[in-house]
Amino acid sequence: MSTPRIDIHLSKIAHNAKTLSTLFRSKGIDIIAVTKGVCAHPHIANILVKSGVKILADSRIANIKKMRDAGVKASFLLIRTPMISQAESVVLDIDMSLNSELSVIKKLSEFAIIHGKIHKIIIMVELGDLREGIMPSQLENTIEKVLRLQGIKLTGIGTNLACFSGVKPTAEKMELLSSIAINIEKKFHIKLSMISGGNSANYNWFSTTKDVGRINNLRLGESIFLGYEPLTGKPIPKLYQDAFMLVAEVIELKNKSSVPDGEIGLDAFGNKPKFKDQGIIRRAILAMGVQDVMVTGLTPKLDIEILGAGGDHIIINAKKEDLKVGSDVSFTLKYGALVTAMNSSYIFKNIITPISAAAYCAIVEEKDRLHKKKTAIIPVKEDHTPLISLQDSDFNLIFEKSIQKNYRYLVRKEVYEKIGRISKLLDNQGKKLIIRSAWRSFEHQQKLWDQKADFLKKKYPKKTVEEISKIVSRFIAPQKKSTHSTGGAVDALIYDLRKKCVLDFGTNDGLHIDLNEKCYPKHPDISEEAKKNRKLLMKLFEDEDFVCDHKEYWHFDYGNIGWAVEKYKKYANYGILKESYVQSAALNYPDKVFFYL
Ligand SMILES: *Cc1c(COP(=O)(O)O)cnc(C)c1O
């Protein structure tokens, strides 16, 4: 894919917006999303609206027009005090603006009257950061005059801190804004519906305060897009910090000295450069420079060091990373880097859209169809690995009750060892592996099928036998098709010892699983918690070389045909083991743990 580019993960932005909305809502604060940091990209604006944000704010009229023209369905707030020369456009194109000059508000009123509009305003109060805002002592005087203007609706007051001077929005500052609001309401007998306390930098105040007073609104950009709290630069819990990733390509990679050779004058930007002597290093040049992005705001994902940058080049010490000419190098971005990258016409904006449930399910079903075709033709070279009962192990496991009497939870020896290692990893996390099912005889498999079919017949008496078997076969393999008959398949879930419950996987209530499309492992419409828990379960098994079933997040295969197909093996190692075979083996070796074949 083309470079330099910025990968924009819409689903991560949506997650951050929803998480922050819910958090602030818990104390009665609504959020406005500020789009100036992403140049009001319409796809991003749309995902913010889809995530529940009602008002979008930008510092530029052009950006707001761009969103309007793209059909973004939101109210729009202009957050930079309007230019008096643009007052007419503000009234015509924008619903609401932040204001700090009476002369501008008067002009807005004039045009509102001419065009028969009501323009909403928030009056900004200066609380110490020394950017926009009316001095508190002048506020009542101004408001008295504003209230007499026609075409203008005073919607509220606000303040902006932590920008020009980095002044913290402390509890005192917020209490002051609250008390100013209360005094104005009393004095003028009006109701201010919006008290806008600030921006992303208000996060720490919000987290530590019990009483937010009259503050009922915040305007957030950075924390939604980058998941950081700007005053300390610390990540905000539960948010993504990599919704945006900048990618550049290596155009030269050579071993060169870490210090230049020759007399040193000024560099391309008029600075005198300094160099640290690290001997000979692996120097790489990336095709991206300060013309494209504020390079000081980039953090590499790899263990490399940015040595410096010119207009069109970034020079890095590639250290021990596996890079070559043509490799992509990725960076996360700080706010300055995000703004400049989004503004650069040289950087391709690569929007990564969350896949819809319908599209995802269609892909899974197509994969499953292909998988079944391949499993029908893949050969088995039975390697006679013995079966062994997980119940006889000393691993920390929970066994889900089986419909099969005297069920022994048999697996192949290698699988047994893998389960042992997985259970140990979970022990360290205060969790326990639940084994739902392992080797199953044909008879056992038939029982499961019949049980499900009976259940569905009762639930949907109008459905025909064919329709019922079609539904059942989407989730339960017919007698002779299940990989459970090989001893290489395991069904597993995870129990949380601290919370004393089965983890939430999105379609389960404890051990009971509802069989539906949301059981497809990476279904997009399950909760973040369920996604995280599925990831944990799948990683444990995949790290042990199992493959997860296409349709069931709890089913894992190793060594059998299901596994061989997914791993592009020439043949499977574990074939079907019939009931009679396993029983005679058990009879022949009654006191052995292993059922030798
Ligand atoms: C930029 C801006 C914001 C948003 O600030 P973030 O730090 O990105 O949350 C809010 N209000 C005003 C007035 C702004 O200029």
* pLDDT score of 593 more than 70: no
Q: Which atom number of ligand 1 is nearest to the Cα of residue 160?
A: 13
395 CA distance to ligand 1 middle (Å) = 54
pTM over 0.75, yes/no: no
Q: Which atom number of ligand 1 is nearest to the Cα of residue 37?
A: 8
Residue of the CA atom closest to atom 6 of ligand 1:
221
Mutate to test the pocket of ligand 1, among 48, 63, 132, 219 (most ligand atoms within 8 A of CB): 219
* pLDDT score of 311 more than 50: yes
* E-strand stretches of 243-320: 244-257, 280-286, 298-300, 305-309, 314-317
**What pLDDT was estimated at residue 116?**
97
Query: Quick one: average pLDDT of 546-569?
Result: 96
Instruction: Give Cβ neighbours of residue 215 (< 8 Å, ≥ 6 apart).
Output: 29, 174, 177, 178, 195, 196, 197
What proportion of the chain, given as a percentage, has pLDDT over 70?
98
Q: Which residues line ligand 1 (CB under 6 A)?
A: 34, 36-37, 59, 79, 98, 160, 199-201, 219-223, 230
**What pLDDT was estimated at residue 591?**
53
pLDDT tens digits for 269-294?
Answer: 888 888 889 999 999 999 999 999 99
213 CA distance to ligand 1 middle (Å) = 21
- pLDDT bracket for residue 596 (50, 70, 90): very low
- pLDDT bracket for residue 463 (50, 70, 90): very high
Mutate to test the pocket of ligand 1, among 63, 132, 199, 334 (most ligand atoms within 8 A of CB): 199
Measured in whole angstroms, the distance separating CA 559 from the mean position of its chain's CA atoms is: 34
Query: Quick one: average pLDDT of 451-477?
Result: 90
Query: Quick one: average pLDDT of 536-543?
Result: 97
Closest CA to 555 of 475, 491, 503, 502: 491
Q: Which atom number of ligand 1 is nearest to the Cα of residue 219?
A: 10
**What pLDDT was estimated at residue 597?**
44
Q: Which atom number of ligand 1 is nearest to the Cα of residue 201?
A: 7
Amino acid at 79: I
The encoded tokens of residue 563 equal 């596994």
The encoded tokens of residue 209 equal 């305060």
- pLDDT bracket for residue 580 (50, 70, 90): confident
* CA gap 173, 126 in Å, rounded: 10
**What pLDDT was estimated at residue 529?**
92
Task: Please give the positions annotated as active site.
Answer: 36
* pLDDT score of 348 more than 90: yes
**What pLDDT was estimated at residue 594?**
52
What proportion of the chain, given as a percentage, has pLDDT over 90?
87
**What pLDDT was estimated at residue 156?**
98
Half-sphere exposure in the Cβ direction for 493 (13 Å, CA): 23
Residue of the CA atom closest to atom 3 of ligand 1:
199
Q: Over the chain, what is the mean pLDDT?
A: 94
- Identify the helix (H) or strand (E) that includes residue 328: strand 328-333
Span of 107-111, 246-250, 593-597 with lowest mean pLDDT = 593-597
192 CA distance to ligand 1 middle (Å) = 21
- pLDDT bracket for residue 582 (50, 70, 90): confident
**What pLDDT was estimated at residue 354?**
77
* pLDDT score of 590 more than 70: no
Residue 195 burial (C-beta neighbours within 10 Å; 0-12, 13-18, 19+): buried
Measure the CA dihedral 422/426/432/436, to 10°.
-30
* CA gap 487, 496 in Å, rounded: 27
* CA gap 365, 375 in Å, rounded: 15
- pLDDT bracket for residue 595 (50, 70, 90): low
